[in-house]
Amino acid sequence: MTHPTSKLRPQRREFLKGLGAASAAVAGATTLPGKALATVSEKKPRYGMLIDTRRCVGCHACSVSCRAENKVPMKKHRSWVESLERGTFPDVTLNFVPRLCNQCSEPPCVAICPEENATYIRDDGIVVIDPETCVGCKRCVRACPYNARFMNPDTGAADKCDFCIDRLTQGMEPACVASCFNKARIFGDLNDPDSAISRMIATNTVSVLHPDEGTKPNVFYIGLDEVDENDIRPPEQYLRITTQRKQNLRR
Amino acid sequence: MRSSKLILAGLTLAALLFTVVGDAFAADIKANKKRGQVYFRMVCTACHVDMSGTTIPPAGRTMAEWRTYLDADKHDVSGKSNPSVRYYLSQAYRDSIKDQNKAAKKFLSVPGEQLYADVYQFAVTGAKDSDTPATCN
Amino acid sequence: MKPDLPKQGAPSGLSRRGFLTLCAGAGAGAAMPWRSFRAASRELKVPAHSWSRGEVIPSTCNMCVNRCGIQCHVVDGVLEKIDGDSRNPKTAGGTCAKGQAGIMALYDPDRITHPLIRVGNRGEGKWRRASWEEAFEYTADHIDKIIEKHGPEGLLFSSCTDLTEVFFIKFGKYLGTPNFARHATLCLASRNVGYFATMGGVPDADLVNAKYILMFGANRMESFELPHNRDLITGLQNGARLVVVDPRMTVTASKGEWLPIRPRTDMALTLALMHVLIKEDLYDREFVAGVTTGFEELKAHVKQYTPEWAEKETGIPARTIVRMAREMAAAAPAVVVYPGRRSSWYTNDAQFRRTLPMLMALLGAFDTRGASFFNAGKVKPGSFDWELEPVEVPPRFDGFDEEKFPLAHHEDGGYINLRDSILNGTGKYPVKGWMLYKQNTLASVADSAKTMRMMETMDFICAIDIQPSQTAWMADIILPETLYLERLDPLWTPSGTTQYVGIRQPVVKPQGEARTLLEILQGLGAALDKRREFETPFSEVFNFTMEDYVDAQLKKLPVDRATLAKEGLWIPPGQGLELGAYRSGSKQFKTPSGKIEFVSERFRRNGYDPLPVYEPVIEEPGRQRLVTGRYAWFTHASNQNNIWLNALHPENEVWINPDLAKEKKIEDGEYVKVRSPVGEIRIMAYVTPRIRKDTVFITHGFGTNSTGQTTLYGKGGADQVLMQDRADTISNNQALHETFVEIVML
């Protein structure tokens, strides 16, 4: 009845090994708002997030914190959590995958946008949307392999996670990071080898969602359960993926 | 008013019969545990905290220890305060502190032996080996 | 909404200062925390969602009972965002989904913001708006009538646990009634009685340093208890082994080894574990000899409880039980046998709970690193100088006393016993008035049809509440209280691994005409004083402000109210655990022997089995045992109507094992009927291998009868409609997992 949590690990890859110079393991995440930013060197930062799914309990603090911070309209989601339950009684596993825009270095959403300046990558690596310039063609929404974009009925423009830029400018961590009880999320500068996130990435096996898409995400996971409904598995094997988004298909 | 000897005998008997939890004084004095509690906390505990900074929770002693202590009526052997516990439950003592202490004032007319029975029952039923130990909160 | 544009690269001075203070408190260093990278990056028009952060006010959350430290961002009197307070030693900056959704509790369109007096039939939902003056007169009239006829003891006071509960209880005491019903027998009364008898208290747990953690049903990953949920995750990351015994695979169980035990047989497992520890000589001889009593009796008693016998009872293989015992012994003393919190499971719960500290004692897993420990609060706030309460008070009407329940906490009452006394007419005298303070009895006590009948016997029901809860909806008058974000509360001093003083203070003005509980009681007390003479008039008792009360609490502490209001909390020096006093014998356990009692003297002298005796389980073939529990985003029955939280989980489901679903031809997602001997509900089926075939699970708080809860009404089904009114025999804690139900296709 034991259930090893790492039965299925397709598509895993070692990521950014050796990027950080630090050798000591970092216990837990930085808990101080602004600390990640305070350690930014004079070099330009590239922001990223690391989610340790082993610490995630699927409590939705991030989901609701994001809604509150970003005034996300009801039924739309910048941040959501997938719960994956799988197996046959009593050999069952339950894993969580907190989701958000992956802030890709090669974002298909930006590539497909017909407007100049409507969506672009900032120098700090954050992919943003300018709702004033966006014409609402929805191409980016369809192009995103992570289903991270949606049309915001309040603005008529595409919308998605922007790592809470507004909080960052004030030295605060993104809302989802700050609210996470169990410190499952680490936010920081990937260009700084001494940042907590870089050290965690250097000392752990991390993976990204859909590396095959070539999007080069800047959101990393430890212990990611990457099974999705399109994966080949014995037909009798039970797998249920639920999110509060009411869309089971995981892209 | 009954003699203290009689009361003492009654108390010892009660201790022997282990019936204090019920109604030790049913025959003579019906103890009011709630009044005992109020007086204990408002007068006894308050004074001990003031004088020595320590509390005297009922749960700090066993039932037997409380009985022995109260039956012996030895409040203080050091001589810094009155040696009798009864003194601190007497109407005379209550009268002397009634202006500073609400409980002493309110229970001024309660006979000393009655209040003694009340406090006795509160302390013993709240002792650490009782069924429902009491703290001082 | 119109975006409020922050200045490019330099946010408003207020919020920056607010942040600096926060940072300094956390010791984040001197680096400029808001280093502007925006100026260096490409020009960006501010996104539409952006808002200026305004003022940051620290306070204490109240979306559940954990009281996490929060930082409230208020702009022009409007609460825009709640963040955790990273300086808070208990929560370290985290909040949960509920804490985040406090905003929607504040601005809930369903909230009651002025007094309501019933005009239709009870529960019909027809109300008229009343002024506070009228509301006080109306309530005082009814209370006065009841006192006239039945005395003050004709009133029952029911309250939910909260920092302000003390005022409500005091009000009842000054009124002169002994009849109170607090939350304990809906929750943890049996655990407390079991632990108290065995070791004189319920210990805390050093989950960070534990090597082996055994939990029975406790679900720290969904039913939060800070800092235990975070400590547990950290402990696991430090290499601890977690075993969760539960018929249902909770999120907590998913983080460790799940033992899907046959329900109500938990005691068979603990007895068998003790059997193996003793038989294989794996127990801690020194600890057992030093600080326990009754070992020889225990040894003789558990001889019969072999792992093979336990396998037949529990469904857990004997070899697993033997392995567990050996693993625990190897990890000892860094083992936590977790006490759990809500223990309202079975009718023998107090006896089962006793086996947990017994198992702990055999392992010597107490008062040392990585184990259980007692940790009394070091912060001792002063107490408020109350007027004296009446001491000539009649006994309780329901006989919840030394004779009937000698080991229970009598002032807290026992709901099942209390309701039966009313319905069966066995009470010592009639109780005809019911004062409710945020206690949602219809949703929280098993068998709501019975609660409904109890309400019908009442001449008057007054509910002080924030929302139109199921129970408030049945009242004659609802007095709207302020939300935790709108009021100053008594100070909060947690006991446990973290020590501090926290303040809950108003961050916004009250919505509508809502008043604090203290103001409500002051108004009501004044109206009552006009009608009759009380031993101490209410005008003399409640003649203080909340500020006075807090100042009295602060009297002995080196911090004042203004500082506390600014900082949100005060942390005393010298945190950290002092362990070893009980092991060495310099401190004694609060038991009759002063030791951990395998054979309980308290149980023995009151006629209960002094050693826990296993009772075989009686099941009902063809029917499933109903169990209940929580999701991480709802607290009891209190916030299923919150718009943000309801969106996460709009309705509850009944969990059904796939094999059972196949037999019953029930499809996942279809609506079914769940029927018990006392009720029936319609609910969606959730077919999942995360539960045993002989068990079904329904989370709590749905199926409201209050049309005032517009988001929730009509969604899901209520577990308490199905549950039979069983209770633990020793503590009268309700036993919610003793009902068998039938799943029927619609």
The single-letter DSSP state of residue C402 is: T
Residues of chain B in contact with residue C601, where contact means CB-CB under 8 angstroms, are: 129
Q: How many CB pairs under 8 A join B and C?
A: 41
Which residue in A31, A157, A165 is closest to C92 by CB distance? A31
Query: What are the angstrom distances between the C-alpha of C329 and each of A111, A115, C128, C132, C280?
Result: 60, 67, 65, 63, 10
Beta carbons of C471 and C442 less than 8 angstroms apart = yes
Chains C, A in contact, 3 or more Cβ pairs below 8 Å: yes
CB-nearest partner of C100 from A64, A154, A168: A64
Q: Which of residues 194-223 of A touch C (CB under 8 A)?
A: none
Facing C230 at nearest CB: one of A75, A90, A181: A181
Question: How many whole angstroms separate alpha carbon C104 and alpha carbon C574?
Answer: 38
pLDDT digits (tens, 9 = 90+) for C225-264: 988 999 999 999 999 999 999 999 999 999 999 999 999 9
In this predicted complex, what is the ipTM? Answer: 0.91
Chain C contact probe: residue of A60, A95, A167, A185 with most C CBs at under 10 A: A60
Residues of C in contact with B106 (CB under 8 A): 388
Best mutation target among C590, C591, C600 (most B Cβ atoms within 10 Å) is C590
Q: Reduced to 3 states, what is the DSSP secondary structure of residue A23?
A: coil
For C720, phi then psi, to 5°, come to -75, -10
* C-alpha–C-alpha distance, residues C442 and B8, integer Å: 52
Question: Is residue B19 predicted with pLDDT exceeding 50?
Answer: no
Question: Mutation test of the interface with chain C: which of A3, A6, A59, A150, choosing the one with the most C Cβ atoms within 10 A?
Answer: A59
Query: Which residues of chain A neighbour C101 with C-beta distances below 8 Å?
Result: 64, 68
Pairs of residues, one from chain A and one from chain C, whose beta carbons lie less than 8 Å apart: 238
Our measurement of the distance from residue C181's CA atom to the centroid of its chain's CA atoms, rounded to an integer in Å, reads: 15
Q: What is the pLDDT of residues A18-67, one digit of tens each?
A: 223 333 333 333 333 333 444 444 678 999 999 999 999 999 999 999 99
What is the average pLDDT across C270-286? 98
CB-CB neighbors (< 8 A) of B21 in chain C: 402
Q: Tokens for C558?
A: 């080196």
Predicted confidence band of residue C29 (pLDDT cuts 50, 70, 90):
very low
Look at residues C11, C73, C108 and name the one whose alpha carbon lies nearest to residue C641. Answer: C108
Residues near C182 by beta carbon (within 8 Å), at least 6 away in sequence: C158, C159, C161, C165, C169, C411, C412, C413
* Distance between CA atoms of residues C244 and C562, nearest Å: 45
What is the mean predicted confidence (pLDDT) over C603-619? 96
Indicate yes or no: CB of C257 within 8 angstroms of CB of A40.
no
Neighbours of C553 (CB within 10 A): 19
Q: Helix, strand, or coil here: C57?
A: strand
Q: Residue A226 is encoded by which pair of tokens? A: 């990457």
| pLDDT score of B36 more than 90 | yes
Question: A39 CA to chain C: closest CA distance, Å?
Answer: 8
Higher pLDDT, A4 or C356: C356
Among C173, C180, C391, the residue to mutate for chain B (most B Cβ within 10 A): C391
Kindly tell me if the per-residue pLDDT of A236 is higher than 90.
no
Assign C85 to helix, strand or coil: coil
Q: Which residues are within 8 A (CB) of C46 and not within 5 positions of it... i.e. 6 or more apart?
A: A166, C3, C5, C6
pLDDT mean over C667-690: 97
pLDDT at C49: 53
Could you tell me the sign of the dihedral formed by the alpha carbons of A63, A69, A73, A79, in that order?
negative
**What is the predicted pLDDT for the residue at A244?**
82
Q: Percentage of residues in chain C with pLDDT exceeding 70?
A: 93
Nearest CA in chain C to B62: C592
Nearest-angstrom CA–CA distance, A113 and B118 = 84
Pairing outcome for strands C477-480 and C460-465: parallel
How far apart, in whole angstroms, are the C-alpha atoms of residue C704 and residue C721?
Answer: 10
Q: Which C positions 627-646 lie with beta carbon below 8 A of chain A?
A: 632-633, 643-645
Compare all CA atoms of chain B with the CA of C597 and give the residue at the minimum distance: B129
Mean pLDDT of chain C: 91
Among the partner-chain residues C37, C42, C633, the one whose CB lies closest to the CB of A59 is C633
State the first-to-last Cα distance of chain C, in angstroms, to the nearest integer.
Answer: 45
Instruction: Give the model confidence (pLDDT) of A104-122 as tens digits.
Output: 999 999 999 999 889 999 9
Whether pLDDT at A215 is above 90: yes
Angle, to 10 degrees, between the axis of helix C266-279 and the axis of helix C307-314? 170
A130 chain-C contacts, CB cut-off 8 A: 44-45, 47
pLDDT at C14 over 50: no
Q: Whats the size of chain C, residue-wise?
A: 746
Chain A residue at shortest CA distance from C645? A64
Q: Do C410 and B42 touch (CB under 8 A)?
A: no
Distances from the Cα of C550 to the Cαs of B50, C490, C503, C566, C580, in angstroms? Answer: 21, 6, 9, 15, 35
Contacting residues of C for A118, CB less than 8 Å apart: none
Phi, psi at A120, each rounded to 5°: -160, 170
Contact yes or no for B132 and C388 at CB 8 A: no
Angle at alpha carbon of residue A137, lines to A136 and A143, rounded to 5°: 115
| Most distant CA atoms of chain A, gap in Å | 56
List, in order, residues 6 or more apart from C269 with CB less than 8 Å away: C245, C259, C261, C310, C314, C316, C321
Of B21, B106, B129, the CB nearest to C388: B106
Residue with tokens 């308050």: B46
Chain A residues whose beta carbon lies within 8 Å of the beta carbon of residue C649: 244
**What pLDDT sits at residue C48?**
45
Chain B residues with CB under 8 Å of C608 CB are none
**Are the C-beta atoms of residues C651 and C715 closer than 8 Å to each other?**
yes
Q: What's chain A's length in residues?
A: 251
For chain C, helix, strand, coil in percent to 5 are 35, 15, 50
For B37-65, what is each residue's pLDDT tens digit?
999 999 999 888 888 888 899 988 999 99
Residues of A within 8 A of C644 (CB-CB) are 64, 67-68
Distance CA C280, CA C282 (A): 5
**What's the distance, Cα to Cα, between the start and end of chain B in Å?**
33
A155 touches chain C (CB under 8 A): yes
- Partner-chain contact B102 C601, CB within 8 Å: no
Mean pLDDT of C60-69: 95
CB contact under 8 A, A89 and C23: no
Banded pLDDT at A8 (limits 50, 70, 90): very low
Spatial strand order in the sheet of A239-242 = A91-99, A80-88, A239-242
Structural domains in chain C?
1-47 (no CATH), 123-182+380-469+513-570 (3.40.50.740), 200-376+580-605 (3.40.228.10), 624-745 (2.40.40.20)
Residue of C nearest to B133 (CA): C590
Out of C22, C643, C690, the one facing A92 most closely (by C-beta) is: C690
Kindly calculate the radius of gyration of chain A based on its CA atoms and give it in whole angstroms.
18
Beta C292-293 vs A91-99: how paired, if at all? Answer: unpaired
What pLDDT, on the 0 to 100 scale, is given for residue C252? 97
- Residue A163 region by backbone torsions, left for phi larger than 0, else alpha for psi between -120 and 50, else beta: left
Q: Which residues of C touch B32 (CB under 8 A)?
A: 391-392
Give ∠ CA C681-C684-C690 in degrees, rounded to 5.
110
Going from N- to C-terminal start, the domains of chain B cover 4-125
Residues in chain C closer than 8 A to B137 (CB atoms): 383
The verdict on a CB contact (< 8 Å) between B129 and C591 is: yes
Contact, C182 vs C159, CB < 8 A?
Answer: yes
- Does C41 contact A at CB distance below 8 Å? yes
C16 inside 8 A of chain A by CB? yes
- In chain C, residues with a C-beta closer than 8 Å to the C-beta of B34 are 389, 391, 393
Q: Which residue of A has its CA nearest to C241?
A: A2
Alpha-carbon distance of C8 to B65, in angstroms, equals: 74
Segment C313-334, tens digit of pLDDT: 999 999 999 999 999 999 999 9
DSSP symbols for C658-713 = HHHHHHHTPPTT-EEEEEETTEEEEEEEEE-TTB-TTEEEE-SS-S---TT-TTTT
Helix-strand-coil percent breakdown of chain A, rounded to 5?
20, 20, 60
Are A191 and A183 contacting, i.e. CB atoms less than 8 angstroms apart? no
Residue C106, pLDDT > 70, answer yes
Ranges C28-42, C123-137, C265-279, C696-710: which has the least confidence: C28-42
pLDDT at C246: 98
What pLDDT, on a 0 to 100 scale, did the predictor assign at position B135?
65
Q: Any chain A CB within 8 A of the CB of C101?
A: yes
Classify each residue of C568-606 as buried b or exposed e, where b means 16 or more C-beta atoms within 10 Å of its C-beta.
Answer: bbbbeeeeeeebeebbeeeeebbbbbbbbbbbbbbbbeb
Which positions in chain A touch C643 (Cβ < 8 Å)?
Answer: 74
User: CA of B85 to nearest chain C CA: how many angstroms apart?
Assistant: 22
**C/B Cβ contact: 3+ pairs below 8 Å:** yes
Q: Please, what sign has the CA dihedral across residues C720, C725, C727, C733? A: positive
CB–CB of C590 and B59 under 8 A? yes
| Cβ contact C453:C122 at 8 Å | no
Tell me if chain A has a CB within 8 Å of the CB of C233.
yes
Q: What is the pLDDT of residue C497?
A: 72
Distance from C-alpha of C246 to C-alpha of C60, rounded to nearest angstrom: 32
Distance, in angstroms, between C418 CA and closest chain B CA? 20
Residue C555 tokens, joined? 């009297």
Segment C150-204, tens digit of pLDDT: 999 999 999 999 899 999 999 999 999 999 999 999 999 999 999 999 999 999 9
d(CA A170, CA C35): 8
CA C286 to mean position of chain CA atoms: 37
Token pair listed for A132: 């004033």
Classify A151 as helix, strand or coil.
strand
Nearest CA in chain C to B37: C391
Distance separating alpha carbons of residues C735 and C217, to the nearest angstrom: 14
Nearest to residue C483, comparing CAs of C454, C461, C509? C509
Q: Say whether C592 and B38 touch across the interface (CB within 8 A).
A: no
Determine whether A235 is exposed, middle or buried from the number of CB atoms within 10 Å of its CB (0-12, 13-18, 19+): exposed
CA dist C45 and C47 (Å) reads 6
CATH dotted code for A35-242 = 3.30.70.20
Cβ neighbors of B17 (< 8 A, separation 6 or more) are none
